[in-house]
A and B are shown apart, each in its own frame.
Chain A
């Protein structure tokens, strides 16, 4: 048994609980903080479950999706995004993206779990879901497809991660491909859950399913940069020449994807301004109740500041990347919030001009909702910090597909190619122009 453990440790880069024990006090305190936060969130959430959510949550019959759904969407969007961006490397063979794959897939699974933790406290009867989702499926319901496909997605990602650890690259690639296909299907269905509610003009249409995919890719790029550079702050050893190249490539693609989302947002605003059903919501973004959410968080923190900082960083100023993507994660959270809540702020009877529906509906998250959301978020944060230590910064002796004739440079970690009659050492000398 002991021998087997050692073996796995070597193969998987698994350092076990021992690594947690050896961590610095500050590190332990950070982890402890997130554990306590997650526990507190779970306790408060369970309290809500026991006394009945309608007593403790801020949601109403008109605004029935609140902070929890926003937080859930934030988590699953990031999860899908991590899968999309990392698949460029380990599924489609983009070599520059390969080194980030392991951390990305790990975090993708954790974000998915975190999302499920949050939705557990939003759905009133989560246990019935497990039964009736199987025995009474409604194939025309986007909600059913979203739930089912995300379930399948999680399974594929877990299997893929196992094969990544096992360094079985053929199977991990296959599972990664299935995971990507199912993940994109699931995620566009999440967009369609909103996009197919034709009584809600702010959501209705093909915009949201499409936007969700691009937005996910942007979140994924941002999350990879954030977690990789944070990992570098924790353990500078994870950075080598290959990883630096990878961070640069992800920075480039993230800059591109932020531009895409800016483009999407501009047209959402412009088309919404001339649409009778969307006009009120759009105006509340521009100058109303949601102006701070929109301008400060969504536009400034979520798009323009990270765009500027990422361009300034040139992909190799890791501290700048860490700041930019950290702020961007906050901005992205508000982007999700700004999809979910404002879509419900106009009562369905508003256009009839009746007294009861004259005002816009308002929503403020309650303490229970905030804590239940933090349960999922804190779980993800804890999983990240624990993962960095236990999985040794997600490093492997060999975790990428090495092409024929190539080998991994023990010095820099990059793939080097040997010319005919050349030894590894000669090749290394040639590559690095040293010695």
Chain B
């Protein structure tokens, strides 16, 4: 994000009359985002990181910056997760995950002293990073970014089992599968579902509350696009300091604005279409 150079000393006070509500909101949001108020922790950055652009608070213009098409992505609406683990079960069944491993799991965060919630559930999985550390670390290119979809996939026959990728991954998304004789990881169900024409991953299809939303980030009509490209609610990624440009976005996801987006409701006053 670039800021214009402003000489603060010579700046005139323009007053607050000329500031539109949108601008005011955007400014406040920026401040809150920097302070990381929404989720309170060092995992939070400004917002999600795609290229150098912001995912929220921006506009359509940087859609071109998404390097893949379809650019598969997942938005996790944290407040909706109830830890039923149906996603984990679905994943294990779909992808034949052995007992000692997992491709996705749900973390629990406990709070004390809050008036509303004492506990929060955070589903985690492979972030399919645009700058994936595992892909760089693999000596034999056994793990690679799919050039079309951006999914981080495994070519099991090339895996020598050195486990460098498991340590390179800042999301603990990999484990060694004895059955495959290779490291195994989430592939957004590419092998078992997407490549067979299905539109949803096993976990997102199984989620009863809609906490996991899977879709294509380059399609403006897609729900994932809409959830990421809204102004009203904070969107973030895990461990932004590692700068891996992840494709799993997190938000609380229980505000009315999100409901409006999901219902496809248009705001007449703000719509560019004439009444």
Contact = CB atoms under 8 A, between A and B. Distances in A.
Nearest to B140: A132
Contacts of B43: 351-352
A29 interface: no
A123 B137 contact: no
Contacts of B133: 197-199
Contacts of A405: none
B64 interface: no
B160 A65 contact: no
A348 B142 contact: no
Max chain A C-beta neighbours (<10 A), residue from B100, B141, B160, B161? B160
Nearest to A194: B167
Contacts of A353: 41, 109
Contacts of B238: 352
Given A128-B158, A354-B108, A61 B172 contact: yes
B175 interface: yes
Contact of A123 (B105, B136, B162): B162
Contacts of B198: none
Interface in A229-244: none
Contacts, number: 137
Contacts of A133: 139-140, 160
Question: Taking chain A's interface residues, is the majority helix, strand, or loop, or is none over half, making it mixed?
Answer: loop
Contacts of B186: none
Taking residues whose C-beta sits less than 8 angstroms from the other chain, chain B's interface range is 35 or more
B163 A65 contact: yes
Contacts of A276: 42
A305 interface: no
Contact of B160 (A61, A123, A140, A200): A123
B167 A64 contact: yes
A143 B172 contact: no
Given A143-B139, A199-B239, A136 B168 contact: no
Given A138-B140, A197-B133, A355-B109, A132 B160 contact: yes
A356 B124 CA distance: 12
A252 to B, nearest CB: 38
Contacts of B105: 356
B208 interface: no
A352 B244 CA distance: 17
A319 B128 CA distance: 58
A366 interface: no
Max chain B C-beta neighbours (<10 A), residue from A62, A126, A133, A349? A349
A54 interface: yes
Max chain A C-beta neighbours (<10 A), residue from B41, B161, B174, B181? B161
A32 interface: no
B156 to A, nearest CB: 10
A147 B137 CA distance: 13
Interface in A171-227: 193, 196-200
A197 B166 contact: no
Interface string B144-175: 00000000000001111111101111111011
Interface in B76-112: 100-101, 105, 107-110
Contact of A348 (B137, B162, B171, B182): B171
A260 interface: no
B223 interface: no
Contacts of B203: none
A344 B182 CA distance: 21
Nearest to B44: A352
Contact of A200 (B101, B107, B167, B181): B167
B161 A144 contact: no
Nearest to B238: A352
Contacts of A357: 107
Contact of A138 (B101, B110, B138): B138
Contacts of A196: 136-137
B109 A129 contact: no
Contacts of B175: 61
Max chain B C-beta neighbours (<10 A), residue from A54, A62, A122? A54
A352 to B, nearest CB: 5
Nearest to A145: B139
A128 B170 contact: no
A251 interface: no
Interface in A95-109: none
Contact of B107 (A138, A349, A351): A349
Interface in B223-247: 238-239, 242-244
B74 interface: no
B176 interface: yes
B125 interface: no
Q: For the complex of A and B, list the 10 residue pairs with the smallest distance between their C-beta atoms, beginning with the closest.
A: A124-B161, A199-B170, A144-B139, A132-B140, A143-B139, A354-B107, A129-B160, A64-B163, A61-B175, A355-B108
7 contacts: A61-B172, A61-B175, A129-B140, A140-B136, A141-B136, A193-B137, A200-B167
Interface of B: 41-43, 100-101, 105, 107-110, 122, 124, 133, 136-142, 157-164, 166-172, 174-176, 178, 181-182, 238-239, 242-244
Given A124-B176, A133-B140, 8 more contacts: A61-B101, A62-B172, A126-B160, A132-B141, A136-B140, A147-B139, A351-B239, A353-B109
Interface of A: 52, 54, 61-62, 64-65, 122-126, 128-129, 132-133, 136-138, 140-144, 147, 193, 196-200, 276, 344, 347-349, 351-357
